[in-house]
Structure 1
Amino acid sequence: MLKPSDMRGKTALVTGAAAGLGRATALSLARAGADISLLDINGEALQSVAAEVRALGVAAQVQVVDLAATDNCGPAVAAAVAEFGRLDALCNVAAVFFPRHATEMTDREWETTMAVNLTAPFKLIRAAIPHLLETHGAVVNVTSCAAFMGQAYLAAYSSTKAGLTHMTRSLAMEYMHRTIRINAVAPGGMMTALAAGLADLQDADSSLLSRIVPLRGLVEIEDVAAMVAFLATDAARGYHGACINLDNGITAG
């Protein structure tokens, strides 16, 4: 398993940190020694994760932030830098997921998906870049296998993940000659609360839903978190503009 390099004295900001992949990523970076700015809309769960982070001997900052209100993004980065004096990694893990028949998706669900999954990562990156240039830091975006294959009932989610994947590559080109690394991880299906939402979809074609699950089964959250944490550190110094498909082969064919 790839492991992050020593992050002692460094800081990472992790979105979606209250549960699932965000929590696992925060803990992986904390084990590497990083102080963590934890960002999520769920304040109660975030406090619990903060306690887990602090138990590993590093500092944790709790930021209860709704990324659907994307004007919160710049202040969230500023708050992390104000707390720790630096920023070395930005991990965009937060996402929303509304499995819907296209004709049943509301405007609000579509707009929230676009805001949280695509606009917020851009605004966070935009605010973080000056700080990451100073520390020779990294951005890691969590996209999805849905960026590379059509998936029924996931038009909004898939669109945002394809956009985030291409945003990663475009920003990597823009900063090709600067001291920052920008990469992405594209997981397959994981056993998270987001994925569980598919079970609630009414009148769905089961033959289409079955195509979303890899033949080798679901991907382990801890494996994805380890990859995100690895890419966030200097151990991944050779990666720039990469999108790592960690999906048990679902996008192979």
Structure 2
Amino acid sequence: MIRVERDKVTFYQFLGLRSFPGLSHFVSGREGGVSVGGQAALNLGFMDEDRDDRVLTNRMLLAEAVGCSVDNFTFGEQKHTTHVEVVTRAQRGRGGREKATRLPSTDALITRETGVCLMVLAADCVPVLMYDSRMRVIAAVHAGWRGTVGRIAAQTVERMRDEFGCDTRDVIVGIGPSIGPCCFEVGEEVVEAAREGLGNLEGLVETGKQPGKYQLNLWEANRRQLRQVGVEDARIEVAGICTVCHHDHFYSYRGDRGNTGRFGAGIMLNI
């Protein structure tokens, strides 16, 4: 990923996605907004700990920096589901100015409509952006550990294939900053859920620092399931940035001990 700063707003872009004409994408950092306290500064999530007017200002600042409008931003109500929603033009802007209009119980969004910026929020969960340059289809995925072991990233690619005729070999993927294997310590119940959902855990789980604890690699778990449905390894870019280790640049629930905001990942077809 590369770091971009415009009008004091910081965001990041995947090298594999930034060269396509007519495509915009970004992963926001913390710098450049108006929120204060644990949510300082570019918090994009409507929450009890932050004022709605500040969050909306942050979203408008980000939209201006990346070259669109807050009315392009389209959000799902992220509930750690594996529900994938195909977004129509009529749904453009849902959740952009207020959380009440978010697409219900949705953690992955797909569209081929121009002017619809698909958005996911994160603070340790894995944001995943996808693009099929041949069929001109985009997707944004919120993959926490539940979504990851539920194979939401793979299900999104399969939905792109089923709905729009995408060839999985044409799909380009960016796996964004999230809690890394260095910091994601989990218990037996999470490991068992991962085994049930993902099968072979070799290379995904290591023994933790504490007895009965394990380190789970969400980056590799998402990369592996994408490869299993036909996405080429060379087309999967993993940011490899741990949000806990770098919570000065990205919001991290664990790194900030729960008092934090949300950063966003977005992708949009411009033309």
Please classify the TM superposition score into its range, dividing by the shorter chain length.
0.3 to 0.5
Q: TM-score normalized by structure 1? A: 0.42
Q: TM-score normalized by structure 2? A: 0.40
